[in-house]
Amino acid sequence: MIDIVLCASGRDEVRIVHDVARGSSGRARIVRRCADLAETAAVVAAGIGDVVVIDLAVRGLDREAAAEMLRGGAGVVGLRSEEGAAARTTLGLRIVVDASADVEELLEACERALRPESEQESGGDAWVQDTADGLEDLPPQRAPLIVTWGPGGAPGRSTVAVNLAAELADAGEQTVLVDADTHGPSLSQMLGVLDESPGLVAACRAAARGTLDDETLDALVPAVRGRLHLLSGIGVPARWAEVHRSSLEDVWESLADRGGAVVVDVGAPLEEDEDLSYDTAAPQRCAASLSAVRRADVLLAVVSSDPVSITRLVRERERLDEIGVGPLHVVINRAGPPARAERVEELLRSRMDVASVTILPEEATTCRRAAWDGAVLAEAAPRSPLRRALRDLAARVRAEHVGVEDAGSTAGADDPGAEGAGAGGADPERAGAGVAG
């Protein structure tokens, strides 16, 4: 017998209770009638019931709440009304029936919800971002998720992210730059965006409600420079609790479906917070970084060319392995005296496995001038060695991961000195204390 926890509107609740009691033939029973989402979540957390049947229009119900019930071990069946917002979304639930369905259809849905995921009709995860009806609706190529991460200490993650995205856009790719640093969001300021809104929060909120469609996403990623679009950060770090991992997964998928390239800037910490939340369902402080790093198609680990930063990266390698990170592409920033770039690269390779190493020369004055102007290096210092090195990095990423075969031919084609920039040969007139992160 299936024990059902029911959370529905008054008219539907009365009818379902009556139909299950009279027409289930002993296959199911209603063990709890819940008044709201909070009571339903508490019942699931207490281990009561096998299946939750819940109206998608219940106040407060979103993808995170639905995912939490599924993680609690209960099967979940959504009831969809014929009218209103709930008729246009499933909140990522695979099993949804009309609120007016007869008892036989409802019981079949409950039985499907209890089957292993591999035996459910849709297969795969129990909750995922809603997809288009057919593959013909998808763009020819999904956008790779390029994540810039690095150990603590401001090694230059944001500087690399902004300029890498700008170079990809200048090379012809529709590029979305995402500020997912929940500890120190900064990309809007670096790009000189005056009218900043918490775009990442709005995207997660829309994803949680199941309303993150193309029109909504387009409004959240305005063009800031040519083909470069920006999904701004959370504004102030105190809003980190509004960014949930389940919603972020849907945001990444929606951005990837747009095609082009997606560059994500994340914070340094990669800790899990479950041990701190005891037995309650709480948001994770590092959810954005963890979600992006796990989902990354290309992970660029930005490290400053000094012993402290390099040691921090080497120590974080074990944590990256725990997360499941694949090939690690290291970007050594601020390369310059007293240590030669080749020596730093040799030291790094001797202590950890890396897929590639890119050297960026030290140019603090150039970067400070670009920051004060709210400009990227392609605007502020187009012929600087640092800009050339970043352009070469973008060309390699584009050729290897975005799928443009001739991307490499654009880098350095008009500038004979571009090739040597990656070796740390900074212009002495421009060299300074380091790249601001």
> In CATH, what number does 145-421 get?
3.40.50.300
Q: What is the pTM of this model?
A: 0.72
Hey, which CATH number is domain 2-119, 3.40.1550.10, 3.30.70.120, 3.40.50.10470, 3.40.50.2300?
3.40.50.2300
What is the pLDDT, as a whole number, of residue 127? 41
Q: Distance between CA atoms of 240 and 201, rounded to whole angstroms?
A: 9
The conformation of residue 402, written as its DSSP 8-state character, comes to I
Residue 307, CA distances (Å) to 158, 229, 335, 345 in order = 21, 35, 12, 12
Closest CA to 58 of 72, 41, 70, 44: 41
Q: Distance between CA atoms of 373 and 376, rounded to whole angstroms?
A: 9
Residues 222-258: tens digit of each pLDDT: 999 999 999 999 988 999 988 988 889 999 999 999 9
Question: 208 with 244: CB under 8 angstroms?
Answer: yes
What is the pLDDT, as a whole number, of residue 351? 92
The answer to whether the 2-119 and 145-421 domains have the same CATH topology is yes
Q: Which residues of the chain have pLDDT under 50?
A: 84-87, 118, 121-139, 275, 277-280, 404-437
- Residue ranges covered by each domain of the chain: 2-119, 145-421
What is the pLDDT, as a whole number, of residue 134? 39
Buried residues in 225-240 as b, exposed as e (16+ CB within 10 A): bebbbbbbbbbeeeeb
The conformation of residue 384, written as its DSSP 8-state character, comes to S
Dihedral in degrees, nearest 10, Cα atoms 129, 135, 137, 142: 70
Residues 281-338: tens digit of each pLDDT: 567 889 999 999 999 999 999 999 999 999 999 999 999 999 999 889 999 999 988 8
What is the pLDDT, as a whole number, of residue 129? 40
Q: Distance between CA atoms of 391 and 401, rounded to whole angstroms?
A: 15
